[in-house]
Amino acid sequence: MNKKTRSARSLTTKLAISAALLTFLTACANQTVLRPVQLDNYDPEDLFYLAGKGPVKTEVIGNPFNEAKPQVDRSTTSAMTGATFRPKLAFDTEVPPEQNSPYHVVMVLDAPTNARPEKLCANPEDAYRPASTQPGGSDLRVVAVYCVNDRRLSSIAGTAPRPASSSDPRFHKLIQEATLNLFPLDNPDRRDGNRLRRIR
């Protein structure tokens, strides 16, 4: 093993440990629990392309609050915006037609336990058909998926004590932590031979 390879693996290990420590410390602080991010051909270099295109198209599924859906959507995308390592990405439910990007995010609020992230890029509404557990309860569960067309690139699920509203700081914190971990700095499993070609 040459020096360059050892250095790259060492950096990957440090990044993975740092991400795990960040999630653990955050969970201890505010009872937010995040499952490890699932990566499928995720390439962090694509994020710079995304940042240059404008806000990332985001579909918010579900409404766990007694509020108008557009308000919940705005609160969700507002919490997501800037909650990435680098570059800082913006998110919106509506983007200009000329943006024409195949990359998008699905954020499911009050997601049932059987919501399958690998299926949500193609059929987001299927998150609630059928549900093995009904939404509600003492905790709020979210599932976030980063997609290219109908293929998953990364996904993450998290829970936190149920917030009172979409303006509750606990809701913003849960969404921000899910977004941060949805777009990690590196993909340890990625190899040059199986990188997904960037679609423009």
- HSE-CB at 15 with a 13 A cutoff on CA atoms is 16
CA 60-62-63 angle, to 5 degrees, is: 105
Asked if the model's pLDDT at residue 18 lies above 70, the reply is no
Residue 12 Ramachandran class (φ > 0 left, ψ -120 to 50 alpha, else beta): alpha
Confidence of residue 28 (pLDDT cuts 50, 70, 90): very low
Kind of pairing between the strands at 91-92 and 56-61 = parallel
pLDDT at 143: 95
pLDDT tens per residue across span 86-126: 899 999 999 988 888 899 999 999 998 888 888 899 988 77
With respect to residue 200, please indicate whether it lies within any of the assigned structural domains.
no
Q: Cα separation of 110 and 56, whole Å? A: 22
Asked if the model's pLDDT at residue 195 lies above 60, the reply is no
Asked if the model's pLDDT at residue 132 lies above 50, the reply is no
State CA 171 to chain mean position distance.
14
- DSSP annotation of 60: E
With respect to residue 40, please indicate whether it lies within any of the assigned structural domains.
yes
Asked if the model's pLDDT at residue 160 lies above 60, the reply is yes
Asked if the model's pLDDT at residue 9 lies above 90, the reply is no
pLDDT tens per residue across span 29-84: 457 888 878 888 899 999 999 999 999 999 999 999 999 999 999 999 999 999 99
With respect to residue 199, please indicate whether it lies within any of the assigned structural domains.
no
With respect to residue 8, please indicate whether it lies within any of the assigned structural domains.
yes
With respect to residue 105, please indicate whether it lies within any of the assigned structural domains.
yes
- Domain total in the chain: 1
Domain that holds residue 106: 3-194
Q: Which helix (H) or strand (E) holds 105?
A: strand 103-109
With respect to residue 142, please indicate whether it lies within any of the assigned structural domains.
yes
Q: Where is pLDDT greater, at 167 or 16?
A: 167
Phi, psi of 39 (to 5 degrees): -115, 130
Q: Cα separation of 177 and 58, whole Å? A: 16
pLDDT tens per residue across span 170-191: 999 999 999 999 999 888 876 5
pLDDT at 40: 82
Question: Which amino acid is located at 157 in the chain?
Answer: A
With respect to residue 140, please indicate whether it lies within any of the assigned structural domains.
yes
Average pLDDT (162-173) is 95
Q: Which residues contact 188 (CB under 8 A, 6 or more apart)?
A: 12, 15, 16
Asked if the model's pLDDT at residue 7 lies above 90, the reply is no
pLDDT at 26: 47
Find the CATH number of the domain harbouring 48. Answer: 3.30.160
